[in-house]
Structure 1
Amino acid sequence: MPKIAYLESVRSHNRISADTPQTLDPATAESLYVRYDMEEMKKTAKRENPAKYAAESAKSLGMWRYKDVLPDVTPVTLGEGWTPMVQSKRHAGLFIKEEGNNPTGSFKARGLAMAVTMAKHYGLQHLAVPSAGNAAGALAAYAAAAGIAAHLYMPQDVPFANYLEGVIYGADVHMIDGLISDCARLVGEEIKRQKEAGTPANEVWFDISTLKEPFRIEGKKTMGYELVEQLGWKYPDAVFYPTGGGVGLIGMWKAFDEMEELGWVERGSKRPKMYALQASGCSPIVKAYDGGKDVSEFFQHAATFAAGLRVPKPYGDAIILDIVRVSGGSAIASTDEEILASILDYAKHEGLFLSPEGAAATAAYERLLASGELTPEETVVLFNTGAGLKYTDMTAEAMKLRRPGTLPTAMPVGGIITPV
């Protein structure tokens, strides 16, 4: 496993030591990327032979199969990564990356596994996160596995599963009457209060927010390595990614940089078009993209049942917009009605229970097929970022579905009536 050479701010390219835990570039408040000695890595990092793909997948180590391109640390792992790519039954070129197969039921397991691994490596004792739901659940699980205290701040109307996860894993759970932006403000205020009160340094909470520490990107970048390996070390034509905070999209683009430098993909290969998908009720990236702006504005009155997309202003908005434009992709919003219709469509015709965020991507994909911007033969990897079952209450409410008032007291099983 490679040693970290330094941390680098995204735009200013300032170099910062990784010997101690870092949040943002102290000079510019920019997000930080983890950088390695690529020349040394070229000597040691090996990709699997595509011909051995089937055999290797059977003994996968999850995302840690990419240890050659991850920090040299002992993992805190629950088996995250190496999720299946399910080929659509109706569209020959569509592959759905089923991130609901991760521990805690969402792609957030990747980023939090890496972030908590590094937190344990640094000896941190308290981790705090503002979350739209799934990141909080993932932090709670991995912090429990690592023996670290987790402090979760979530909007009070997140899917009930997210609240239950926090409680079950023994985290300190705060439900807030507001949005994820309000949660972030409260986390920041509490950390400031602790420092001003003279709380011992090892007891001050460490903010593990999206893009406010460098290692969640490292966990999420494994999605890029995975999808390329699962396609025989070739890029797809397009990647469709539900975008709230956008760390996964940013991480995959970093993975493409690294793979090209390592020679793991054919030099000169055309990168996929990157599509950022949002809900109309909270679409700051789409609004900025359509308006030709380099950064987004705070999206007022954000409201959508796709809880993970309810991020009024992503911290990495400028990075996301740049990636989308450079790749030749786009940013597309779908209404809650379109998202629900896509959930029902893919459940009935594909056997997949999508999360609302994943259905924002399938809804956009179907729209681009209908318009002719995409063809069914083009290879598209579309991320279902979470298990639909984690959103049972939210999806049922959107369907106006209620539990039947009277349940049977005896159920037929294999032709035999069970006892009453």
Structure 2
Amino acid sequence: MPAIAFLECVRCHHQVSAATPQTLCPLCAGSLYVRYDMDALKQTAHRDSPAQYAAASPASLGMWRYKDVLPDVTPVTLGEGWTPMLQSKRYPGLYIKEEGANPTGTFKARGLGLAVTMAKHYGLEHLAVPSAGNAAGALAAYAAAAGIAAHIFMPQDVPLANYLEGIVYGADVTMVDGLISDCARLVGENIKAQKAANTPANQVWFDISTLKEPFRVEGKKTMGYELVEQLGWTYPDAVFYPTGGGVGLIGMWKAFEEMEQLGWVSGKRPKMYALQASGCAPMATAYEQGKDVSTFFENAATFAAGLRVPKPYGDAIILEIVRESGGKALAYPDETLLASLLDWAKHEGIFLSPEGAAATAAYDALIAGGDLKTTDKVVLFNTGAGLKYTDMTADAMHLKRPGTLPKSMPVGGIITPV
């Protein structure tokens, strides 16, 4: 496992030591990327051949399979990563990366698994996060595994599963009447107050927010390594990614850069599609208007809770990646997301998260419009298990639990004729 050479600001390229915990660039408040000595890694890091991948034992799988390109630390792991790549039954070129197979049921396990690992490495005792839901559940789980206190701020209307996770894992949970932006403000205010009160350093919360520390990107980048390896160390034509904070998309682009430097993959990088809901579409709006940054999306509302991020901190990075790759940022209304969710459940046997349905809705629309062919090799991310959203999806379907169930039920029961 490599030592970190330095942390580099994505905006001004200022270099910072990774010897102590870091948040943002001290010069311009840009996000920090982890950088390694790539020349040295070329001599020590090795990829598996497609044949080795096919015969890989379960013990060699998981996110830490890529330890050669991750920090040299002892992992706090719950078995995250190496999620299934499912080929569509209807579209020969389409593969669904099923991130719902991760611990806590979403891709957030990757980023928080790495971030909490580094927090333990640094000796941090208190971690705080504003979350649209799933990051909170992942932080609560990994903090519990690491013996670190977790302080979580979530909108009060997140899926019930997210609230339950925080409580079950023993986190300090605060429900907020507002959006993730309001939660972020409260985290910042608490940390500022703690410092003003001369709270002992080991008791001050460390903000582990999206792109406000360097290591969630490192965990998320493993999705890029995985999808390339699972395709025999080749790039797909396009990647469809549901985008709230956008760390997954950013992490994959970093992974592609690293793999190319190591000689692990070559050719044209995939077009990157950032998918959103019309009820909260800052990236799609900025892309359509030709802007380099997004504008705060007022009155954000969508049942795809993970997409309800009115202004991502990494908006400029996301837009740059989308445009450089030749992709797009697109948004669709909740009605379209729900219709796609139900269609894919019925015809593919996959219960998408509402966020994942933003990606399938976009794929269906681009196929119908002729922008894509069914033979184009596309990897589409379902970022979370649909079962984590049972209350949200049921509400969107206007579905209620039956009032009274019989104590015993004949074959066929209440769903099919007796």
- TM-score, structure 1 as length reference: 0.97
Cα separation, 1, equivalents of 2:382 and 2:166: 22
Write the letter of the residue equivalent to 2:192.
K
Which of 307, 310, 313 is 1:309 aligned to?
Answer: 307
Alpha-carbon distance, 1:51 to partner: 1.5
Write the letter of the residue equivalent to 1:216.
R
Give the structure 2 partner of residue 133 of structure 1: 133
Cα separation, 2, equivalents of 1:166 and 1:85: 29
Cα separation, 1, equivalents of 2:121 and 2:412: 53
Q: Is the 8 A contact 2:283 2:319 kept in 1?
A: yes
Give the structure 2 partner of residue 337 of structure 1: 335
Cα separation, 1, equivalents of 2:404 and 2:12: 63
Alpha-carbon distance, 1:11 to partner: 1.7
Cα offsets for 1:178-205 (capped at 9, x unmatched): 0000000000000000000000001000
Give the structure 2 partner of residue 225 of structure 1: 225
Give the structure 1 partner of residue 325 of structure 2: 327
Alpha-carbon distance, 1:59 to partner: 3.5
Instruction: Kindly indicate whether residue 192 of structure 2 is the aligned counterpart of residue 192 of structure 1.
Output: yes
Q: For 1:4, what is the secondary structure of its paired residue?
A: coil
Cα offsets for 1:260-287 (capped at 9, x unmatched): 0000013xx0000000000000000000
Q: For 1:258, what is the secondary structure of its paired residue?
A: helix
Instruction: Spell out the pairing of 1:9-408 with structure 2 (5 A cutoff).
Output: 9-56=9-56, 58-266=58-266, 269-408=267-406
Write the letter of the residue equivalent to 1:281.
G
Write the letter of the residue equivalent to 2:259.
M
Q: For 2:56, what is the secondary structure of its paired residue?
A: helix
Cα separation, 2, equivalents of 1:371 and 1:312: 28
Cα offsets for 1:34-65 (capped at 9, x unmatched): 00000111111000011122211544330000
Alpha-carbon distance, 1:323 to partner: 0.1
Q: Is the 8 A contact 2:11 2:28 kept in 1?
A: no
Cα separation, 2, equivalents of 1:111 and 1:349: 31
Cα separation, 2, equivalents of 1:37 and 1:84: 31
Q: Is the 8 A contact 1:115 1:219 kept in 2?
A: yes
Q: For 2:5, what is the secondary structure of its paired residue?
A: strand
Alpha-carbon distance, 1:408 to partner: 1.2
Q: 1:23 to 1:412 in 2, by over 3 A?
A: same
- Where in structure 1 are there 5+ consecutive unaligned residues? 416-420
Write the letter of the residue equivalent to 1:128.
A
After superposing the two structures, state which structure 1 stretch, 132-141 or 401-410, moved more. Answer: 401-410
Q: For 2:60, what is the secondary structure of its paired residue?
A: coil
Cα separation, 2, equivalents of 1:178 and 1:346: 32
Alpha-carbon distance, 1:30 to partner: 0.3
Q: Is the 8 A contact 1:22 1:213 kept in 2?
A: yes
Cα separation, 2, equivalents of 1:128 and 1:311: 18
CA RMSD of aligned residues (A): 1.1
Write the letter of the residue equivalent to 2:184.
A
Identity %: 79
Cα separation, 2, equivalents of 1:287 and 1:37: 38
Cα separation, 2, equivalents of 1:343 and 1:261: 38
Give the structure 2 partner of residue 418 of structure 1: none
Alpha-carbon distance, 1:414 to partner: 12
Alpha-carbon distance, 1:221 to partner: 0.1
Matched residue count: 413
After superposing the two structures, state which structure 1 stretch, 403-412 or 135-144, moved more. Answer: 403-412
Write the letter of the residue equivalent to 1:133.
G
Q: Which runs of 4+ in 1 moved over 6 A?
A: none
Cα offsets for 1:97-145 (capped at 9, x unmatched): 0000000000000000000000000000000000000000000000000
Cα separation, 2, equivalents of 1:358 and 1:382: 8
Q: Is the 8 A contact 1:60 1:82 kept in 2?
A: no
Cα separation, 2, equivalents of 1:160 and 1:72: 36
- Where in structure 2 are there 5+ consecutive unaligned residues? 414-418
Q: 1:346 to 1:57 in 2, by over 3 A?
A: farther
Q: For 1:363, what is the secondary structure of its paired residue?
A: helix
Cα separation, 2, equivalents of 1:315 and 1:198: 29
